[in-house]
Structure 1
Amino acid sequence: MSGDDSLRAVFARHRVRLLLAVVLLLLTMLAGVGLLGLSGGFLTAAALAGALGAGTTFNFFSPSAGIRALTFVRIVSRYFEKLVGHDATLRIARDLRVWFFRRALPLAPARLGGTRTGELLARLMSDIGEVDGLLVRAVGPLLALAGIALASIAVAAAIHWPAAVALLLLLLLIGIGVPLLAVHSGDAGEAERARHRTRLRTLAYEGLEGAADLAALDARDAWRARVDGAARQLAGDDHRRRGRLIAGNVLHSACAGLGLLAMLWLALSAFQDGRVTAPLAAALVFLTVALLEVAAGCGLAWQALQSARISAGRLQAIVEQPPSVSDPAHPRPVPASPATLSFEQVVFAWPGESRRVLDGIDLQIRPGERIAIGGDSGCGKTTLSALLLRLWDPQAGAVRWGGVDLREVAQDDWHRHVAWLPQGAPVFAGSIADNLRLGQPQADEARLWAVLEQVRLGDWARRQGGLSAWVGENGATMSAGQARRLAMARALLRDAPLMVLDEPTEGLDVDTAEALLVDMAAALGPRSLLMITHGHLPDGVVHRQYRLQRGRLLEVGGEAQG
């Protein structure tokens, strides 16, 4: 990865394509403006030659050749401008998503846990969609317009310098003044529009995810009303946005009309005084008409630039959050297995809260030992596993593996020593093999069948058609117990010396849960286990059980710590 991983660097990687697209767009505009100006002058000269009679000299071939050449250049440059511009945009769209994932994933689940999934989805789709079109919708047209303005002013100055001054003032007015006036104070509106767009996507996403619960609670109508309300808010934002754009277009048209009349007066006055010929006077007028045409989309480009800037800020607000933990500058190697995991006087409180969730925890898990920790919801059980996984660091005390503080090792190195089965571990749309190989990508088919047998899914997998059988979105073709067993098989496949299970039987009936735990204990072999659970455990599944209460561990059948 390069040293600069900013949003600006994503665009900088494509600067050659971006520059080429702008140059081609400028060439297209130059050809279009030149074509209209040259045609106007040519038609005027032809009309005058016809009116004045046969004795008048008229150069037919040079202007007509120029018109044909400009037409050809405009067609070719337009084609390649679209080709290069859209190629650059698609590449940027790809790299923006990679950049966002690369920057956001290290924040998961600790930092991203405070952001709703639907909001993240909105940032990934809507905001990146606004930013990746920055070239085609905003920056490219504005830069090309600046280039065509300079070229046109230079041509006008060569013909009649007062016309060049008038053209400069007109272009400053309609190219910068009017658009800025139209989008003035629009930042707040764009930010509000982005928030409402995010809220609508979030509600729609969560409604689809929780459709079964909404139906069971007879809450679909209330939820649909919330979605409709969010849609109306967004529609109102879009209406006001279009209103600002229309007002800008009206002002643009008024200024353009007055500017064209002024140029017509200047051209006629210069012709009447003998300072320019009739064809050149006509060329000034047609040049102005052509510039007004290419500048018509200026307001839309400025609005797109404003929207992209707001969206870029929203993306950066996510990825620039400080990580919950950082790797040391010189990490130590993780001690080889088998090793003892120990919590030593661990204290932890969530950021912004004064209450200590963990208050002086001492715990040792020796190699091959299986420990279960229970307690009421919110007592800190999952927090304990988060510290073990080093998603957060304790404010006091230490978590050690083989005597080495986890803060002294690299997170990636430590995570290779842990197999984690979170609460609600997903089953992904794909084959049985696809789901299993998330735990061990290099596992061969023999190893996959072996782990399926360990969790008693071998016969089921054969009935489905083998390892290539499709399991469906969220395990749609499986029962809840089968889905948990498949997730368990994926964790076992990692073959890590330490396994961490967070509520592994959540949502299962008692018989299914007990069977799963018994099979899991048999499959662990010499591995250590830390299980977070509030359910009943069959005999022999763990060696010791604790209850977490008021930040302290109480061994079931023993005395409280401290």
Structure 2
Amino acid sequence: MNRVDTLREVFARHRWRLLLAVALLLLTMLAGIGLLGLAGGFLTAAALAGALGAGATFNFFSPSAGIRALTLARIGSRYFEKLVGHDATLRIARDLRVWFFRRALPLAPARLGSSRTGELLARLMTDIGEVDGLMVRALGPLLALAGAMLATVLAAALIHWPAALVLLGLSLLVGIGVPVLAVRHGDAGEAARARHRTDLRTLAYEGLEGAADLTALDARDGWIARVDAAARQVAGSDHRRRARLVAGNVLHSACAGLGLLAMLWLVLPAFEAGALAAPLAATLLFLTVALLEAAAGCGQAWQALQSARVSAARLQAIVEQPPAVADPVQPAALPAQAATVSFEQVVFGWPGEPRRLLDGIDLQLRPGERIAIRGDSGCGKSTLSALLLRLWDPRQGAVRYGGIDLRDVAQDDWHRRIAWLPQGAPVFAGSIADNLRLGDPVAGEERMWAVLEQVRLTGWAWQQGGLSAWLGENGATMSAGQARRLALARALLRDAPLLVLDEPTEGLDVDTANALLTDLAAALGPRSLLMISHGHLPEGVVQREYRLQQGRLALLRP
């Protein structure tokens, strides 16, 4: 695995921004703690000077200048910390999504096919949302707080070393002991929370996608009840999470009260014994108050860290799946010209299942030939096309192109030789040109109009407003037949020597399907065609038809 493709590297790419954000947060904390401590000592000295009468004196200018400087430093550092921190978080959020797509897309459809769409959506949105704020919401505050505690303890040691020991013990207690105690066993809770949120998102997504079917089957109420139950589980897990945080805050407050009493018990005898001046004793008390205030959000930071760790593990569980196929170390070169595709005694069954979907398949597709594979649903037709696309490798036998085993070829090289029209090929939200350029990113307008003419969509495209016409989500402005023709135009625009169609007329009426297939036969030119279909094909569309049954091919029409 390339170093650039690790989750850690996504954060490392922005390490200087993250370090600057942590440094600014540390400066903000130190300025706030120093401001409260200095102001407390200054006010105490001023009050004592006023009580002692006109003859009493105290240093007015140095503390007041320090207070002004710390105030300005706190305002400036807080502003720039928010600016830099949010900038880094947004950049990381962008790069995390790119990283997830880059790692997950090679797993589609073979590996990702086992994951529900709503679950993948939860990974992409919820889990990445938890991980992208890891530094700003969790590690950054914890690191800055550790630095602020250390600086405060050192400052207290310069004033009165026993006070430094009290602050050190208090820092360890409220910074580590209390939060860890509050979030103990929280990994299981965070994992359950993530799982419940995924279930809710999946049910909501699938309910919206299948709203028409649920209505037709009078199953909407039952589905809504399932969504409500999932929502209650999410609410329950969120409630337990808040309860852990509240318990930590209560424990923090109790420790803070005891810590202040301990500091007061320490500085009062020192003041009475003359070992500590009153302003310095007040400074130590106010330093303790400021440190406890800065540590108040420690429990939330620990909880955010826990949640980010669980979400990161969920993301890794998706992208670290082994790919179904792998490129050879030294890929073989494919023939420059169109060549014969051959299946030689191919055997395939899904991993972990003893059943053989394909059992000794022999098939040849020569350059320019058009063949169709027919059969009942579930007989293995789409599996055969998946082997040709090299989404999977056969258990036994080989799929060859020009005599070269596809397992010896780089996947990118092979995929450049294929144009694929899958079952239910989507129309993406965008313009006509945007959808066509998925087949050829550098296609010019003249070529796009030519391929639209091949599939008889020119008149429709002009009526819509030309190539820049907006098609809407899932081709909302198109009929089913128009959407199929546009997807076919996209495949033809690829100009690959081999065209693979998987149920190209699924969901179309007979007249529309026959018209589409007839136009397809005329538009193919010298391309080879492998068509997967369970319906009747008009005369002249293919040259040979096979039937796939019980894992074997039988020739129907030569």
Change (3 A) 1:557 1:85: closer
Matched, 1:128 2:139: no
Partner in structure 1 of residue 462 of structure 2: 462
Output aligned runs, 1:130-529, within 5 Å: 130-529=130-529
Cα distance per residue 1:129-159 (max 9 Å; x no partner): 0000111111111000000000000011111
Cα distance per residue 1:409-460 (max 9 Å; x no partner): 1101110100000000001111111111111111111111111111111111
Cα distance per residue 1:187-207 (max 9 Å; x no partner): 111000000001111111111
| Aligned residues of 2:4 and 2:10 also touching (Cα < 8 A) | no
After TM superposition, the score normalised by the length of structure 1 is: 0.98
Amino acid at match of 2:479: S
Partner in structure 2 of residue 43 of structure 1: 43
What is the CA–CA distance in structure 1 between the aligned matches of 2:121 and 2:198, rounded to whole Å?
Answer: 8
Amino acid at match of 2:478: M
What is the CA–CA distance in structure 1 between the aligned matches of 2:457 and 2:217, rounded to whole Å?
Answer: 34
| Aligned residues of 2:544 and 2:557 also touching (Cα < 8 A) | no
Amino acid at match of 1:243: A
User: Following TM superposition, by how much is the alpha carbon of 1:468 offset from its aligned partner in structure 2, in angstroms?
Assistant: 1.4
User: Following TM superposition, by how much is the alpha carbon of 1:337 offset from its aligned partner in structure 2, in angstroms?
Assistant: 2.3
What is the CA–CA distance in structure 2 between the aligned matches of 1:77 and 1:458, rounded to whole Å?
Answer: 61
What is the CA–CA distance in structure 2 between the aligned matches of 1:519 and 1:57, rounded to whole Å?
Answer: 101
What is the CA–CA distance in structure 2 between the aligned matches of 1:300 and 1:233, rounded to whole Å?
Answer: 22
What is the CA–CA distance in structure 1 between the aligned matches of 2:385 and 2:521, rounded to whole Å?
Answer: 19
User: Following TM superposition, by how much is the alpha carbon of 1:358 offset from its aligned partner in structure 2, in angstroms?
Assistant: 0.7
What is the CA–CA distance in structure 1 between the aligned matches of 2:557 and 2:476, rounded to whole Å?
Answer: 42
What is the CA–CA distance in structure 1 between the aligned matches of 2:222 and 2:427, rounded to whole Å?
Answer: 30
* SS of 1:507 mapped into structure 2: coil
Partner in structure 1 of residue 30 of structure 2: 30
| Aligned residues of 2:45 and 2:279 also touching (Cα < 8 A) | yes
Q: More deviation in 371-380 or 211-220?
A: 211-220
| Aligned residues of 2:3 and 2:9 also touching (Cα < 8 A) | no
* SS of 2:545 mapped into structure 1: strand
* SS of 1:372 mapped into structure 2: strand
Cα distance per residue 1:56-83 (max 9 Å; x no partner): 2211101000000000110111111111
Matched, 1:79 2:79: yes
Unaligned runs of 5+ in 1: none
* SS of 2:515 mapped into structure 1: helix
User: Following TM superposition, by how much is the alpha carbon of 1:2 offset from its aligned partner in structure 2, in angstroms?
Assistant: 5.6
| Aligned residues of 2:264 and 2:285 also touching (Cα < 8 A) | yes
Partner in structure 2 of residue 89 of structure 1: 89
What is the CA–CA distance in structure 2 between the aligned matches of 1:194 and 1:101, rounded to whole Å?
Answer: 20
What is the CA–CA distance in structure 2 between the aligned matches of 1:337 and 1:376, rounded to whole Å?
Answer: 35
* SS of 2:88 mapped into structure 1: helix
Amino acid at match of 1:264: L
User: Following TM superposition, by how much is the alpha carbon of 1:557 offset from its aligned partner in structure 2, in angstroms?
Assistant: 5.2
What is the CA–CA distance in structure 2 between the aligned matches of 1:396 and 1:545, rounded to whole Å?
Answer: 24
Q: More deviation in 160-169 or 208-217?
A: 208-217
How many residues were matched structurally? 558
Q: More deviation in 434-443 or 210-219?
A: 210-219
Cα distance per residue 1:530-555 (max 9 Å; x no partner): 00000000111111111111111111
- Runs of 4+ with deviation above 2 angstroms: 1-4
* SS of 1:556 mapped into structure 2: strand
* SS of 2:3 mapped into structure 1: coil
* SS of 1:233 mapped into structure 2: helix
User: Following TM superposition, by how much is the alpha carbon of 1:338 offset from its aligned partner in structure 2, in angstroms?
Assistant: 1.9
Backbone CA RMSD of aligned residues: 1.0
Percent identical pairs in the alignment equals 81
Q: More deviation in 118-127 or 267-276?
A: 267-276
User: Following TM superposition, by how much is the alpha carbon of 1:3 offset from its aligned partner in structure 2, in angstroms?
Assistant: 3.4
User: Following TM superposition, by how much is the alpha carbon of 1:343 offset from its aligned partner in structure 2, in angstroms?
Assistant: 0.3
What is the CA–CA distance in structure 2 between the aligned matches of 1:310 and 1:303, rounded to whole Å?
Answer: 11
* SS of 2:324 mapped into structure 1: coil
Cα distance per residue 1:375-419 (max 9 Å; x no partner): 111111011000000001111111001111111111011101000
Amino acid at match of 1:167: L
What is the CA–CA distance in structure 2 between the aligned matches of 1:432 and 1:29, rounded to whole Å?
Answer: 55
What is the CA–CA distance in structure 1 between the aligned matches of 2:391 and 2:354, rounded to whole Å?
Answer: 20
Cα distance per residue 1:470-498 (max 9 Å; x no partner): 11111111111111011011101111000
* SS of 1:351 mapped into structure 2: coil
| Aligned residues of 2:174 and 2:252 also touching (Cα < 8 A) | yes
Unaligned runs of 5+ in 2: none
Amino acid at match of 1:31: A
Cα distance per residue 1:203-262 (max 9 Å; x no partner): 111111112222222221111111111111000000010001001100110010011111
